[in-house]
Homo-oligomer: A and B are copies of this chain.
Amino acid sequence: MPKLGAEPIRRAALVKATIEMVGDGGSLDVTVAQIARRAGMSSALAHHYFGSKEQIFLAAMRAILSIYAAEVRGALVVAEGHAGRLRAIVHASFAPGSFRREAIGAWLNFYVLAQTAPEARRLLAVYQRRLHSNLMHDLKPIVGARAGGVARGLGALIDGVYIRAALQPGATDRRAAAALVLAYLDRELEGA
């Protein structure tokens, strides 16, 4: 059966399966065997490619974060003006690629992982810093000294909407979620 060049395919399959299982199951208590089974291989193979369960989780987290980062980059290139760029960042947070049931569920669980696994914490910190600096870049010219507070508010609000979405499976409307955050943004930009 050994088709050569299997490694990247296997890794990707495991990452995908991990996100699905963690997101759907709503818990980090998934066994390597379950993940491997879903990805169509033995648990031994999963260990072979990733070395440990933690590495599998971290890879899944990296995947989610990089999808999100790509979404933001993509949205920013076509956006115009400071306000437009800020809206683009918000929109990216609720783009179909990131705002799916499993991804949201996985996200919440990775938050928890970040409390114990230093590497997960680091990844999350990178994401948060990048989001913050992206926001600041376009907020400062518009709202000046208030930029810091607004950026923190936006970040917290996005996370809050996410966490709530994770708990209302199905009842979560992407557009409504985005609209809520955009309303906050517009209000803060009023008269600027």
Question: Chain A interface (Cβ within 8 Å of chain B)?
Answer: 25-28, 105, 108-109, 111-112, 114-116, 121, 124, 149, 152-153, 155-161, 163-164, 166-167, 180, 183-184, 187-188
Q: Which residues of the partner chain B approach A166 to less than 8 Å between Cβ atoms?
A: 111, 115
Q: Which residues of the partner chain B approach A149 to less than 8 Å between Cβ atoms?
A: 180, 183
- Bound CA–CA A155/B180 (angstroms): 11
Assess A116 versus B160: contact at CB under 8 Å? Given A111-B167, A149-B180, A187-B187: no
The residue on B at minimum CB distance from A153 is B180
Secondary structure at the A interface, as helix, strand, loop or mixed, is: helix
Assess A115 versus B167: contact at CB under 8 Å? Given A149-B180, A188-B187: yes
Tell me the number of copies of this protein.
Answer: 2
- Check B159–A155 contact: CB distance below 8 A: no
Most buried by B among A27, A121, A155: A27
- Check A163–B153 contact: CB distance below 8 A: no
Q: Which residues of the partner chain B approach A28 to less than 8 Å between Cβ atoms?
A: 112
- Bound CA–CA A164/B109 (angstroms): 14
Assess A111 versus B187: contact at CB under 8 Å? Given A149-B180, A157-B153, A157-B156: no
Q: Which residues of the partner chain B approach A180 to less than 8 Å between Cβ atoms?
A: 149, 152-153, 156
Q: Which residues of the partner chain B approach A116 to less than 8 Å between Cβ atoms?
A: 25-27
Q: Which residues of the partner chain B approach A159 to less than 8 Å between Cβ atoms?
A: 159-160, 163-164
Q: Which residues of the partner chain B approach A160 to less than 8 Å between Cβ atoms?
A: 155-161, 163
Instruction: Write 12 A-B pairs (CB below 8 A) sorted by A numbering.
Output: A108-B112, A111-B167, A112-B112, A114-B167, A115-B166, A153-B183, A155-B160, A155-B164, A156-B163, A159-B164, A160-B163, A163-B163
